[in-house]
Structure 1
Amino acid sequence: MFVIFGHCATFPLFVQAIGPNNIMKRTTQMPPQHPLRALLPPLEVMEKLGYDRCRCLQGTGVTLQQLDDLGSRITLQQEQRFYRNALDLTDDPLIGLRLGEPFVPQRYGLFGYALLSAETFRHALVIAENFGRLTFSLFSFKFGIEGQSAWFALCDPPLLEEDLIAVYMDRDLAAARVDFSAILGEPFRVESLQLPHQGRGNAQAYRQYFGCEVEFGAPDARFCFDSGVLEKRLPQSDPDSSRHLQQQCQMLIAKLTAQGSFIDEVRMMILARPGYFPDIDYIAQRMEMSTRTLRRKLKNEGSNFRDLLEEIRYGLAREYLADTQLPMEEISSLLGYSEAGNFSHAFRRWSGISPTAWRQNVPLTRPRSV
């Protein structure tokens, strides 16, 4: 879905009021490092505006070669420098609105597909609230109902300079509107918008962009919309698929218990990012051990990295084929294959038949989820 957030360790609460009315509250709940691919959508926008990648990445420490590495991650400081560059290059305080527009649901893998396949818009918002950590934002999500109106809010901004907070906020609001429209299959109509700042001299531009009245100096950033939309059945609704995808989302963000086995820990590391299956060197680095030590510990538990990777892919493949209506191209992408043909070849090696044949025979091999 949107450009949205995640949280890691929680530090002691620190509250700082911002803005002339001392309304917007910040905490030191810090976001994790985001995947480097979080920069690709806004980079596309900047390139269309005439700014080459080198200028946009200046001072970030990110190289052009790293952009092709799905396993790379960036620090919050590197990400901030990119958005600072975008502000300085364009000299446009509303550039965040443009940078949020490419963040369509499919950018988020399992999370995005779970949203698209939700039964109703209300269900989609519940998914967003529960699993927003799988997106790229620095905020948390909440939604609710007040009378005939419903609202969706961005909460818990991090401790950043106010102009950067505004860029992130604009980006996420623009992205949310794009994603809600994609989920609903029609333009998402905003009745009113609340913003915690005073418009920074661009009040009318905000009204024109979102096509609604805007209240400035509000407690948080939120869309208000007709609550009747919540019960709208979504055009790509597939409750079984959405439920299964939510289970996968939960798996991605679940923390291992202290009793978890070493193999389980490695599995969680492999499943950390939908569509990307890291090599053993990357996993060893993330687990702060040598590749040799990782191989030895897996061997002690009766496994090896290649077999574990194949086991995970085969298991996911069977679940996607049995419990969802996702096309082969999307399943291939979720399993880390660049082409559907490569996935088909691997599946034949695992099962002896093609994935299409396996899906057709699902009733004979296992019951579908209910």
Structure 2
Amino acid sequence: MTPNTSEKSCSVLPAGHVQAIHFQPVSQLIRKLGGNPESVFRMLNLSEALLQDSAAVLPLSLAGELLAHSARETGCEHFGLLLGSLGGLDQLGLIANLMAKQPTIGDALATLVQFHHITNRTGLALLRQDKEDAYLEFCSMESNFRGFRHFHEGVMAIALNIMRSLSHAGWTPTAVYFSHRPPKNPQTYARFFGAPCYFNTAHAELQFPAALLLAPNAAMNASSITFLEMNTLEMSALDWLERARRTAYSLVARGDCNQPRFASALGISVRTMNRRLEQSGVSYFDILDNARYVVSRKLIRETDMPLKDIAAALSYTDASSFTRAFRRWSGVTPEQWRKARCS
């Protein structure tokens, strides 16, 4: 695919793309690890200069290829983690400015969840909590690409740095969860995050005490929002159907999607929701099926989770119901799909 560029004054990110400048340190990191960045860029027919352009965007598949080839060139299985460690709150641009206007860590994270699409149109940031714990989760709505693991590990490393900016430099999570297979050296990950790390899980998230959500935002700067920021927010607003699809995905990822909850998350009644979806040429079940298919492919391809656990994560009553649905979506069983892509 060919990378795209846009005018610097327009910050609207195309669907399925990420900002190229997030990958600016790739060359330096490859060299530091003893590799040759020129060979990586040549193999991908990608200009290294593109990553210096704040207005450039990359298709997610190309970004994943860049990370996969970089990891292979350097022999570093945690290349994505190291790249993400170089990023943080300052990479979020307008979102960081909006987060800095919030009084508490919880308010800042809620802002990140609301406007995450401005900097990443390929995934979702989610925040949930139970009585004692909170979870900051990142879901990729597109996972069937090479380099997914490296990409997602980078996102989790950036999330750690964001939390440290909002709290304090030495902040560590209670635990970290990855929705991919264990690496050869999981101890590296535990040392990096300063917390137990778990793999082959349904969610990729940082766990921490829920009480932290009420703590003061260490990055707070109560300046007023500018006209340019307001204009950017208006320009980047999602159309209704994309918002509906992202909402369905977030609920499916949490294992908690039904029509009343879906409509409530959109702020409308079930009747109005169905009418709007029909006007858009889709149904609730179309959107639900698509979200389940995307999440299931990620878990089948990237983890060793038993099919019964994947079925449960997607709110199926049993593995056979999930198998029938997956065969309807893909034409093959989940076992066949996993074998074809993981052999």
Q: What is the TM-score when the length of structure 1 is the normalising length?
A: 0.55
Matched, 1:214 2:176: no
Matched, 1:85 2:72: no
Aligned match of 1:35: 19
Quick one: distance in 2 between partners of 1:208 and 1:76?
A: 28
Q: CA deviation at 1:174?
A: 0.7
Q: CA deviation at 1:171?
A: 0.6
Q: CA deviation at 1:120?
A: 0.9
Quick one: distance in 2 between partners of 1:46 and 1:32?
A: 26
Matched, 1:148 2:138: no
Aligned match of 1:199: 182
Q: CA deviation at 1:191?
A: 0.5
Matched, 1:184 2:167: yes
Quick one: distance in 2 between partners of 1:240 and 1:209?
A: 34
Residue 116 of structure 2 aligns to which amino acid in structure 1?
G
Aligned match of 2:107: 123
Alignment of 1:323-338 (within 5 A): none
Change (3 A) 1:158 1:90: same
Aligned match of 2:98: 114
Residue 165 of structure 1 aligns to which amino acid in structure 2?
F
Alignment of 1:314-325 (within 5 A): none
Match of 1:171 among 147, 154, 158: 154
Preserved CA contact (<8 Å) 2:100 2:222: no
Aligned match of 1:74: 58
Quick one: distance in 2 between partners of 1:132 and 1:78?
A: 20
Aligned match of 2:234: 251
Q: Please state whether the residue corresponding to 2:63 is helix, strand or coil.
A: helix
Q: Please state whether the residue corresponding to 2:189 is helix, strand or coil.
A: helix
Change (3 A) 1:68 1:41: closer
Aligned match of 1:332: none
Quick one: distance in 2 between partners of 1:196 and 1:255?
A: 27
Q: Deviations over 1:82-106 (max 9, x none)?
A: 1121121122221111010111222
Preserved CA contact (<8 Å) 2:108 2:217: no
Change (3 A) 1:198 1:62: closer
Q: CA deviation at 1:40?
A: 0.6
Percentage of identical aligned residues: 16
Residue 208 of structure 2 aligns to which amino acid in structure 1?
F
Match of 1:99 among 83, 91, 104: 83
Alignment of 1:299-310 (within 5 A): none
Residue 80 of structure 2 aligns to which amino acid in structure 1?
G
Residue 171 of structure 1 aligns to which amino acid in structure 2?
G
Q: Please state whether the residue corresponding to 1:58 is helix, strand or coil.
A: helix
Q: Please state whether the residue corresponding to 1:190 is helix, strand or coil.
A: coil
Aligned match of 2:215: 232
Mean CA deviation greater in 221-230 or 69-78: 69-78
Alignment of 1:55-66 (within 5 A): 55-66=39-50
- Indicate the structure (1 or 2) with the bigger Cα radius of gyration: 1
Change (3 A) 1:68 1:213: closer
Quick one: distance in 2 between partners of 1:92 and 1:236?
A: 33
Q: Deviations over 1:194-230 (max 9, x none)?
A: 2223413333332222222223322111111011111
Q: CA deviation at 1:177?
A: 0.3
Q: CA-atom RMSD, angstroms? A: 2.9
Residue 232 of structure 1 aligns to which amino acid in structure 2?
A
Q: Deviations over 1:218-256 (max 9, x none)?
A: 211111101111111123323453698874552241258
Q: Please state whether the residue corresponding to 2:21 is helix, strand or coil.
A: helix
Quick one: distance in 2 between partners of 1:41 and 1:105?
A: 16
Mean CA deviation greater in 245-254 or 137-146: 245-254
Preserved CA contact (<8 Å) 2:20 2:58: yes
Quick one: distance in 1 between partners of 2:239 and 2:173?
A: 40
Residue 165 of structure 2 aligns to which amino acid in structure 1?
A
Q: What is the TM-score when the length of structure 2 is the normalising length?
A: 0.59
Matched, 1:132 2:116: yes
Residue 177 of structure 1 aligns to which amino acid in structure 2?
L
Mean CA deviation greater in 206-215 or 87-96: 206-215
